[in-house]
Amino acid sequence: ILSGPFAPEVVSLQSEFAQFLGSKYCLTTNSGTAALHIGLAALEIGPGDEVICPAFTFVATALSILHQNAIPVFVDIEPKTLGMDPKLVEAAITPRTRAIMPVHMHGIPCDIEAILAIGRKYNLPVIEDACQAHGASLNGKKVGTFGSVAGFSTQSSKNLSCGEGGLFVTDDEKLFERANRTRMFGENIKPQDQNSYQQERALDGNRAYDSINMGWMYRTNEMSAALVRSQLSRLDFWNANARKNAEFLSAKLSELPGITPPVVPQGAVGVFHKYRVRLDASKLNLDLPPKKVRDTLIQNLVAQGVDAVLWQSQPVPGQRLFLEKIGYGKGIPWSTATPVNYSLDQYPETNRLLESSICLFSQTYPIAAQSLELCEKVAEIFKKVWLELA
């Protein structure tokens, strides 16, 4: 049995991940992007609506908004958690704003409680992009359970991975039903339909083949679901390993002049999907452009056998799709909505971060999968290479 909305591995994964988070409902998808998209569709975000999201994120955050012909409105980040700055969120709200989509970057909880307060004040739902943050928490509550809906990714670099896939969660039954329709061709497939589903005849049954709204084919498959289930049973271990490695590296690197390791806010538990280090070469009495320092450091670390990457090189609104407002052609959806400005000087913190930081380890070999012994070597080599820049 390899397909269908009620395939046993899929159904079991949905139940187990919901239980892991403390959510009522979960749907598997074929990507984190799809999980975010069905959340937007469930909230009935539509053409010309504005959704506020951070300038520092992966492009999928904004693409999921475009999938609904809605308009991403980017705001800058705050420098501690690298999440969207709540003060700027409130300033970005217009009469066309319909939702707020914060991102828990690199597995560190953003200032979600402040963002939720803004959402309540303006009656705006909050969509959590938790694609990098499975198991992260704030004040004992797991991320992905704060907002109206949330999306997770199980792409191969994530702490919970299967190659490609995603997970949607919510506590709201109506949002769950709408998301489920969007996930499956717009058809009104309900959980109780499973009662007449025969596993040995997975493609048969009483399916009506009647699409009642726009839909996509976003389901995942049994093999991916089975792999995620097996990884979910180990997620706490890998998250703990990521924290152990990060705490060791942070203790070592914070001793170096001009190096700022990742910051985990009080009350938060991070999972370190990425380990990003900020650089200030002025503390070495170096008068060089930040990008030159960044690129030289990466080059020298890689030459010494240490994985170091940029991951992102510009704010998302700096990508051609947004600068030129290409969209679906003829400028849609922007050409059908109120003009928005994506000038990059609006995002100084994001620009500063990307010009003067690097990620240790790589997409293929993230920190969660590494040994403490390797991290000791990385700290050693980093210290040598950084001090040699002086």
**What is the longest distance spanned by two Cα atoms in the chain?**
72
Does 87 participate in catalysis according to the annotation? no
DSSP state letters, 268-320:
EE---SSEEEEE-GGGGT----HHHHHHHHHHHHHHTT--EE-S--S-GGGSH
259 φ, ψ to 5°?
-110, 125
Comparing CA positions, the residue from 225, 212, 203, 156 lying closest to residue 184 is 212
**Catalytic-labelled residue, pool 80, 142, 158, 283:** 158
Question: Taking a C-beta distance cutoff of 8 angstroms, is the pair 132, 105 a contact?
Answer: yes
State the Cα–Cα distance between residues 358 and 296, nearest whole angstrom.
Answer: 11
Strand stretches in 190-261, DSSP E: 259-260
Sign of CA dihedral 42, 43, 46, 52: negative
| Omega cis (within 30) before 333 | yes
Residue found by looking up tokens 């002049």 in the block? 257
SS3 28: strand
Give the residue among 330, 328, 341, 320 at the shortest CA–CA distance from 69: 328
**Residues marked as catalytic:** 158
